[in-house]
Amino acid sequence: MSPLCAVVDAYSTGRFLAPALRRHGVGTIHVQSTPDVPAHLRNVADIAGFSESIAFRDDVRPLAARLGLRGVTHIVAGTETGVSLADSLSAVLGTPGHGVSCPAARRDKSLMAERLRRSGLDAPDGWATHLENEALAWLGGHGQWPVVLKPVDSAGGDNVQVCADRSAVLNAFRRIMAARNIVGQRNRRVLLQEFLTGEELFVNTVSWAGCHHVAEVWKYTKRRTPDGTVIYDYEEPLPHDDRRVARVAGYVAGVLDALEIHNGAAHTEVILTSRGPVLVDSGARLAGSVLPQVVSRCFGTSQVELLATAIAAPERFISLAGRPYCLGGHLRYVSLICPRDCLLGELQGLEQVRRLPTFAGMTIMARPGDRLHRTRDSATSPGQVYLFGGPDDVARDYRRLRELEGSLYDA
C-alpha cells in the first residue's frame, strides 16, 4: 500500500509538505484543527495540493476512524496549531508518532521544563500560575531581575514580556491572562521564568524511529521594544563546524528524547548561557515561515524535504542522519517590522525590496487594505524577506530594507 500522510494545519511552512511528499510518491490529506484558519495564518494556508481536506469537530476518535478508512499511514503537524491534534490522532491510529506518556509537555512550557529536569537536563527556573499572589510569591523567592513572562503554551514570541520590576510583572500578567494565545485559545496560566543571558540559537531537526538529524542551526538577533516586548529582527545560519553547533546539538538531542519527539520535525530554541545550553522552547513541528526553496539554495536541502524523505523512505533518511550540513553562501532571514498601527497600502514599495541585489525570497502575511498592528511578535510581523549572497552585500541590503520600512506599509 502506498503511504498516505495526513497533515494537520498545513499552514506556514507546512503548506509545502504536500508537494514535497508528492515528489516521493506519498499522497496527502489535510486536516483542519479549528473551524477557521487563524487570522495571522490565512495568507500562508494553501491546501490546493491535498487530495482532500477534513475539518475536525470535537471528537478525535471519529476523525481517526475516518482517516484509518482512507488508509492514512502517517500523521504530522504542519504548524504549531496542529501539534496536539496530530499527537492525539497518531496515538489512536497507531501511526509513527511521538511518545504518549506526557504529550502535553510538547505544548506546555512548564511541563516541558519539568520533563527536562527529570532527564537530567538544564532548564530555566520558573513557575506557572493563574494567580497573581502565586506569581508574586515566586518573584520573592527568585530574587533576580529581569524576569520573563509568557503564556504557558505560547509560540512565535506570542506575548513574551521582559519585566524589570514588580509593577511591570503585574501589568504583563494581567495582559497575558486577558488575551488569547497564538493558536486562538484563552490563556489559562502565565509562565514566569528566569531571564537567560547569552546567544540564542535555534536547531531544526527531523527524527525518525528515535534517530535525530540536525538539519540546520541558526542564530537569532532580536530587539526589545521600550515596553519590554521582545521581537524578531533577523536570523542567520551557523556553519556546521562552528563550535556552538556542537555545544547545542547534543543538548537538543537530549531535549527531543525527554519530550519523546520520535518521528517528525522539531524546532528547538536554546540560549547558550554561562552554565551551558538551556532550553527556551521546543516545538514538535516544522520551523515556521520558511521558504524551503530558498533554504535549499543555501543548505542543499531543507527540513521539509528531510521530513518528506523520512516519511517516504525511512531507511534512506536514517542513512543520511548525522551527516553535517554545508552552507553554500550567506543567508539572512529578516522579519519585517511594522513601526505603527496602519492600513496596508498597495505594496508598490515591495518592488524596491525585490530589486535588492541579494533578494532571494519574500512572504507577506497580509493583503492591501488589511489593518496592520505595530509588530510585537511573529503574528504581527507583516512578513519575512530572505537575503542571500556575500556577507557584506547582505548586510548592506539589510540596512536598506530597514530604511524602506519607514514608508512600506501605509495606505
Among the listed residues 106, 27, 15, the one whose alpha carbon sits nearest the alpha carbon of residue 74: 27
Q: Give the residue extent of every domain in the chain.
A: 4-95, 125-194, 199-407
pLDDT digits (tens, 9 = 90+) for 178-220: 998 877 789 999 999 999 999 999 999 999 999 999 999 999 9
- What pTM, to 2 d.p., does this model score? 0.95
Q: Rounded to whole angstroms, how far apart are CA atoms 245 and 218?
A: 9
User: Domain 4-95 belongs to what architecture?
Assistant: 3-Layer(aba) Sandwich (3.40)
* pLDDT tens profile 267-284: 999 999 999 999 999 999
CATH fold for domain 125-194:
Dna Ligase; domain 1 (3.30.1490)
- d(CA 267, CA 325) in angstroms, rounded, equals 16
Closest CA to 266 of 48, 99, 94, 31: 99
Q: Which residue has the higher pLDDT, 343 or 396?
A: 396
Encode 314-337: b = buried (16+ Cβ within 10 Å), e = exposed: eeebbeebeeebeeeebbbbbbbb
Task: Kindly indicate the confidence band of residue 1, based on its pLDDT and cuts at 50, 70 and 90.
Answer: low
pLDDT tens-digit map of 15-59 = 999 999 999 999 999 999 998 888 778 888 888 889 999 999 989
Distance (Å, whole) CA 73 – CA 125: 40
The top-level CATH class assigned to 199-407 is: alpha beta
Per-residue burial over 103-141, b = 16 or more CB atoms within 10 Å of its CB, e = otherwise: bebbbbbbbbbbbbeeeebebbbbbbbeeeeebeebbee
Q: Is 2 exposed, middle or buried (0-12, 13-18, 19+ CB in 10 A)?
A: exposed
- Grid coordinates representing 277 are 545550553
